[in-house]
């Protein structure tokens, strides 16, 4: 397994920034070094109550730590080569995805109840454990469950279908039930702790990403706040994906709001925010009999197209 270690810096790693100034920055809504790196010295000086000279030094240091200079494109190619692709179990579906669910990316599946979003999550949780030649990453998985739909019995069926030891397979899945949106956000930080402990995690599942936010932020007046918090949550996940070469798989419901009757019935909750933050978006729907149809939407490097797969007792297959 490729060993990766990328340092995570905090405010106090910056010259001239102590714990008091750091907490002022947090109170002012700065969440990470990036928010400092993109500021101008005058603004940071006012915000953190420090001199402009110190502010300038801190900003420059943040820019260095985040490596905000240009890289030549070969560096990009090198990063792309480290990307692992986790098999869905279906060749057609893998082809649609350009090989499988990618590391260093967020893949979002959205669709109606029963369309197969959680089934795909179960399959990926097993497949990521396979050796690379079999479409895995020889790794472990974190499952953040906000809907209570993780089923060990289902893992058993899929694992045994692949000839894997069920108990061993279960041991490689770290599951946490997220009780509310704050808890869900916190759990992403806990993933970083697992990685620091040396757990070889290559997949993080959030099933579903939106349900708590949707239940908690109900009023019209809360919409902006909700979107902002989802946005921050997604960026946190993306940083995790990039810093540790991890695949993020998130699920999202579609709206079944009567007010949306004349709108697009395939509209995902969270709208633009999630759409912009996801690298790949797949729309899932039921087809004829047990068939499922997956449609790739707005990929940065793949054509928008569809494929058919099936959900069976042994998991996801082509036919
Ligand atoms: P959602 O998109 O709401 O998360 P799911 O991924 O939970 O939907 O899909 C549920 C569907 O998956 C069921 O309606 C059924 O068609 C199929 N399914 C679940 N378990 C099995 C199984 N053991 N064998 C065959 N099909 C299954
Ligand atoms: Mg589900």
Name the closest-CA residue to atom 5, ligand 1: 116
Does residue 215 belong to any structural domain of this protein? yes
| Residue 110: strand pairing partners | 252, 283
CA distance 251 to 154: 18
Counting ligands in written order, the one closest to the CA of 289 is: 1
Written as one string, the DSSP assignment of 76-127 is: HHHHHHH--EE--S-HHHHHHTTSSEETTEEEEEEESTTSSHHHHHHHHHHH
DSSP 3-state percent helix, strand, coil across the chain (nearest 5): 45, 20, 35
The CATH number given to whatever domain includes residue 86 is 3.40.50.300
Three-state secondary structure call for residue 7: coil
Residues 87 and 24 in one domain: no
Residues 177 and 251 in one domain: yes
The CATH number given to whatever domain includes residue 41 is 1.10.150.20
How much is the pTM?
Answer: 0.82
Q: Tell me the pLDDT tens digit for each residue of 41-61.
A: 999 999 999 999 999 999 999
Tell whether the model's pLDDT for residue 93 goes beyond 50: yes
119 C-beta closer than 6 A to ligand 1: yes
Specify whether the CB–CB gap between 187 and 229 falls below 8 A.
no
- 206 φ, ψ (degrees, to nearest 5): -125, 105
Specify whether the CB–CB gap between 309 and 92 falls below 8 A.
yes
Average pLDDT over residues 57-73: 87
298 C-beta closer than 6 A to ligand 1: no
pLDDT of residue 3: 44
Q: Give the residue, out of 88, 108, 110, 116, with the most ligand 1 atoms within 8 A of its beta carbon, to mutate for a pocket test.
A: 116
313 C-beta closer than 6 A to ligand 1: yes
Q: Tell me the pLDDT tens digit for each residue of 187-196.
A: 999 999 999 9
Q: Tell me the pLDDT tens digit for each residue of 136-187.
A: 999 999 999 999 999 999 999 999 999 999 999 999 999 999 999 999 999 9
pLDDT of residue 276: 81
pLDDT of residue 4: 44
**For residue 208, cis peptide bond before it (omega within 30 degrees of 0):** yes
Mean pLDDT of the chain: 90
Strand ranges of the sheet holding 140-145, from the earlier edge strand across to the other edge: 173-177, 140-145, 201-207, 247-253, 105-111, 280-286, 291-297, 306-312, 315-317
287 C-beta closer than 6 A to ligand 1: no
Residues 293 and 172 in one domain: yes
Average pLDDT over residues 280-296: 93
Residues 29 and 88 in one domain: no
Does residue 298 belong to any structural domain of this protein? yes
Beta strand 315-317 with 306-312: parallel, antiparallel or unpaired? antiparallel
Specify whether the CB–CB gap between 201 and 194 falls below 8 A.
yes
Position 7 confidence tier, pLDDT thresholds 50, 70, 90: low
Does residue 180 belong to any structural domain of this protein? yes
Report the domain count for the chain: 2
Position 273 confidence tier, pLDDT thresholds 50, 70, 90: confident
């Amino acid at each position: 397994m490729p060993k990766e270690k990328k340092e995570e810096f905090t405010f106090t790693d910056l010259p001239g920034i102590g714990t008091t100034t750091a907490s002022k920055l947090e109170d002012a809504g700065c969440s990470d070094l990036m928010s400092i790196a993109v500021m101008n010295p005058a603004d940071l000086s006012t915000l953190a109550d420090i001199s402009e000279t110190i502010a300038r030094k801190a900003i420059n240091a943040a820019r260095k730590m985040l490596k905000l200079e240009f890289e030549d494109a070969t560096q990009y190619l090198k990063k792309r080569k480290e990307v692992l692709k986790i098999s869905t179990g279906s060749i057609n579906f893998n082809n649609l995805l350009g090989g499988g669910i990618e590391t260093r990316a967020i893949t979002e599946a959205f669709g109606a109840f029963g369309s197969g979003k959680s089934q795909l999550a179960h399959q990926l949780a097993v497949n990521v454990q396979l050796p690379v030649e079999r479409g895995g990453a020889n790794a472990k998985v974190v499952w953040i469950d906000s809907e209570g739909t993780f089923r060990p019995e289902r893992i058993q069926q899929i694992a045994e279908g692949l000839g894997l030891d069920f108990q061993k397979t279960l041991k490689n899945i770290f599951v946490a039930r997220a009780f509310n949106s704050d808890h869900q956000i916190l759990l992403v930080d806990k993933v970083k702790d697992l990685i620091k402990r040396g757990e070889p995690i290559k997949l993080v599942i959030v099933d579903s990403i939106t349900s708590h936010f949707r239940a908690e932020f109900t009023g019209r007046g809360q919409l902006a706040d909700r979107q902002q918090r989802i946005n921050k949550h997604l960026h946190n996940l993306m940083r995790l994906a990039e810093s540790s070469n991890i695949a993020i798989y998130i699920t999202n419901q579609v709206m079944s709001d009567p007010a949306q009757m004349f709108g697009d019935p395939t509209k995902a909750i969270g709208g633009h925010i999630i759409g912009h933050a996801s690298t790949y978006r797949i729309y899932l729907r039921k087809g004829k009999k047990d068939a499922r149809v997956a449609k790739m939407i707005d990929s940065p490097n793949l054509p928008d197209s569809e494929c058919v797969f099936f959900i069976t007792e042994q998991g996801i297959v082509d036919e």
